[in-house]
Structure 1
């Protein structure tokens, strides 16, 4: 029997291709040795940074109007917030930092490049490994804009290939497997704990809709790949932490379309069948924990609040081989960072008060104006109702509405909202207010999984 060199080479190539296809696209370059089994692990988890580079705006009137009339993101101090968080990472040196999407305001290429540079500086200063996935704002975004004086203008965004290249050092090059149908990947920073980083976004629809599509899903091929990842993890006796931008469960009875995965039932079934019981998501900008199932088969979905909105929280996940996972939230100390770096801006030196006032004043004013415009309430009554909205919204975003539930339900403003069920002009805001009242006693800022 004779051997043909080209046929032998082709056969070898096909064998390698088949092996790689079983797990999607594998990648071994630049992958550091995993933390050895039996070692404790510390992780920071943040989301929705919505970074915008200084080069994209001049801090003029157009940019001022944009952030002041937005959803509460403190974009005017975005650089300082990210730097203060980076300083916290450098001091505490967690093993891992996870960022679950919406890295940029609207996918501006310059913002991606600037943020990746910051990530590199954080990694080098702390020794922390950073892992990212995209959010619905990050890729092929037709709303990518720059701001100059009183004008805004289009700026380049990035496609999925550019995104992967810009953030290649933050998860993609360390992946032990990549999904062939999305930017999802599997990473093994530890022999005990693996990260299933899932790309749930539908940016491929943006050109057709001329808008950054809010909805998300995981396709059937990706779900099959997830099954293979889970099987491999079980063979290696590793536990998987699942991370995605969109939510697995509804974290609000009012706001969930476009935030919870469109095919969340299929995804939940896949997760449950494969023992994926700890999920971190973002997108909604609130701190909230939801779960389903009996304790032995329960899946937790932890929606993390936005890094750049009051109260500037992030998650801390500690793993111990003996006790399992312990989760809590912490806050970025921007005031202390400002003092340490010689800042003289009074807003930064008193950032807790400044940012809370900005957030609550906006909530109060919006509610007061909506109520007053009906002409059905006195100034005092409108004030009571706006105060209820302000207090609820403040605690909703930091995951502490359970602590004020009794106070709210006994307030004059809340009773007026309850009685406003026939006022059509208040229907939407009333529904939002009622949706913020907790229906269980779960602590949204703390969780232990043994």
Structure 2
């Protein structure tokens, strides 16, 4: 119904573009698209990221998939299709106006995975929620697009930029009031007077690749030029613009390098802050985190929602009003979907426990690996160190590491695993777990940001 209403509205205003007549100027121009809600109505948004959907037709229960699953950084690839079924069910029940997906929609850019994911989005829209997507670094021209059969992996068709825009034409690009002709970026205005910049921050080759997807991200100079033109036409609305990208602008992990933040992130942050933007949404690092830039004249916040594919299977709930933006992290209700739809699989009926155990085990395996690599492994250390690192990983990636009172850290610093690591590790494991011990910036699960006047 929303799409029919928008189409009629666009027809009534004449289906015209403001700008020059050549194709690229038309793409750069601002065109009228009816918003989902009016200026005085609240906009209810869900945001998810890093779904990493892998078509069930591209894996079985063989050794090749087991090896990949064991090195997937805690992503529960086997159950992502069920997570998408749960997302369709829960969105139909809760009826958000808009679902934003901020990149890494697929495991490694498999064309088939992308087509199947679009079918889930079609069902979500039929149930009353508009979907808007942008790509992540794993989605386009990924040389790692594979299927897993028995003991073997085989190359499968990888998605191109043209594939992405065609497959997801009805999932965000149909809302675009302006499109960047040089990337997959666009601007939409789902609430009247409140634009969202949906920015393609990914680095991918011009042709299909045989290499791993680039972890790093960058905004093209051509995209900045397109943004400059857009901002020049929107001087009166700058204080209400929101930013969505796959790569974070702020350093949420404390780690340097490795593609954890956008290349030239400081310059990008300054650019968007100078345009009056005060809130950015991202994914990529898989961890739930909210941070504030402390070196700018005006407040600038960034909200990174945890990956849907790992515990606690995060959904960011956003309410955007004329007065404020509020954000709350919730968890996808896989258990509710399983019970409501008659699913009998015990691991899905108790998915909170299943997901928690799966992700904790990944942290435990990391601890064991690092004890060997740092050459201080002893069997007597295993249980305590693995339990500690597993629990710390869950705590950090869930966004539950914010500390107001340092006395509350006693539970962690008194843990036998913590003591063993402090006494034996001088390398990664000690630095990593100390880094995860506390977050004094902001509570990572919820925030209320007043609209700038």
Q: If the length of structure 2 is used for normalisation, what is the TM-score?
A: 0.88
Distance (Å, rounded) in 2 between the aligned partners of 1:448 and 1:231? 29
Distance (whole Å) between structure 1 residues aligned to residue 203 and residue 85 of structure 2? 30
Report which stretch shifted further, 296-305 or 159-168: 296-305
Partner of 2:243: 242
**Which shows bigger deviation, 364-373 or 184-193?**
364-373
Q: Equivalent residue of 1:449, what SS?
A: strand
Deviation at 1:203, TM superposition (A): 0.8
- Aligned positions of 1:45-444 closer than 5 A: 45-125=47-127, 127-204=128-205, 210-236=211-237, 239-254=240-255, 256-293=257-294, 297-321=298-322, 323-371=323-371, 376=376, 379-402=379-402, 405-422=409-426, 427-444=427-444
Check whether the contact 1:206–1:213 (CA below 8 A) recurs between aligned residues.
Answer: no
**How far apart, in 2, do the equivalents of 1:26 and 1:192 lie?**
13
1:220 Cα deviation after fit? 2.4
SS in 2 for 1:402: coil
2:29 paired with 1:42? no
Q: How many residues align?
A: 430
Instruction: Using the TM superposition, name which of 260-269 and 58-67 deviates more.
Output: 58-67
**Is residue 143–residue 210 contact of structure 2 (8 Å, CA) maintained in 1?**
no
Distance 1:33 1:366, change over 3 A: closer
Note if contact 2:291-2:441 (Cα within 8 Å) is conserved in structure 1. Answer: no
Cα deviation for residue 371 of structure 1 reads 2.5
User: Which stretch of structure 1 is more off in the superposition, 167-176 or 365-374?
Assistant: 365-374
TM-superposed CA distance for 1:123, in Å, is 0.6
Give the distance between the partners of 1:254 and 1:114, measured in 2 at CA.
Answer: 35
Q: Following TM superposition, by how much is the alpha carbon of 1:227 offset from its aligned partner in structure 2, in angstroms?
A: 3.3
Q: CA separation of 1:434/1:256 partners in 2, compared to 1, >3 Å: closer, same or farther?
A: farther
CA-atom RMSD in angstroms: 2.5
Deviations 1:84-121 (A, max 9, x none): 11211111111111000000001000000000011011
More off after superposition, 85-94 vs 256-265: 256-265
The superposition leaves residues 414-436 of structure 1 with CA deviations (integer Å, 9 ceiling, x where unpaired) of 233223354xxxx1222221221
Rounded Cα–Cα distance in structure 2 between residues aligned with 1:159 and 1:437: 41
| Secondary structure at the counterpart of residue 84 of structure 1 | helix
Aligned to 2:28: 24
Q: Which runs of 5+ in 1 are unaligned?
A: 1-12
CA distance change for structure 1 residues 80 and 19 in 2, over 3 Å: closer, same or farther?
Answer: closer
User: Could you say what secondary structure the match of 2:191 adopts?
Assistant: coil
SS of the equivalent of 2:428 reads helix
Cα distance, 1:146–1:15 mapped onto 2, change above 3 Å: closer
Contact 2:48–2:307 (CA under 8 A) maintained in structure 1: yes
CA 238–58 in structure 1, closer or farther in 2 if over 3 Å, else same: same
Larger Rg: 1
Per-residue displacement from partner, 1:392-435 (whole Å, max 9, x unpaired)? 1010110102356342123332233223354xxxx122222122
